[in-house]
């Protein structure tokens, strides 16, 4: 496996784990009525490649599943991430 391919895979794993755990942390903070992770930060994580982790976190933690911005925004970012990743591997 090429070093660049390995780097992309490691990056994708880390950013998606961050997205997944960010959803879990935000859900826990919402329940406890504490300071929350800003929605913009969650979308930034998705834009940077963590949309799959965010989507998994939404499903597992049942968090932000009724918000239209997240219902459509996170899957759209996932599609963006997949197209970008395909482009990286293609060239």
Per-residue pLDDT tens digits for 39-60? 999 999 999 999 999 999 999 9
Torsion angle defined by CA atoms of residues 82, 71, 55 and 4, in that order, rounded to the nearest 10 degrees: 20
pLDDT of residue 4: 86
Q: What is the pTM of this model?
A: 0.93
Domain that holds residue 13: 3-90
Q: Rounded to 5 degrees, what are φ and ψ at 40?
A: -60, -35
pLDDT of residue 90: 85
For the chain, what is the domain count? 1
């Amino acid at each position: 496996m090429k070093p660049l391919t390995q780097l992309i895979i490691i990056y994708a794993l880390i950013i998606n784990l961050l997205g997944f755990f960010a959803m879990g942390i935000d859900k826990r903070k919402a329940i406890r009525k504490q300071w929350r992770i800003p929605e913009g930060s969650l979308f930034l994580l998705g834009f940077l490649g963590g949309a799959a982790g965010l989507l998994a976190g939404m499903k597992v933690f049942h968090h932000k599943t009724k918000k239209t911005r997240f219902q459509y925004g996170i899957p759209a970012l996932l599609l963006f991430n997949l197209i970008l990743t395909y482009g990286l591997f293609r060239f």
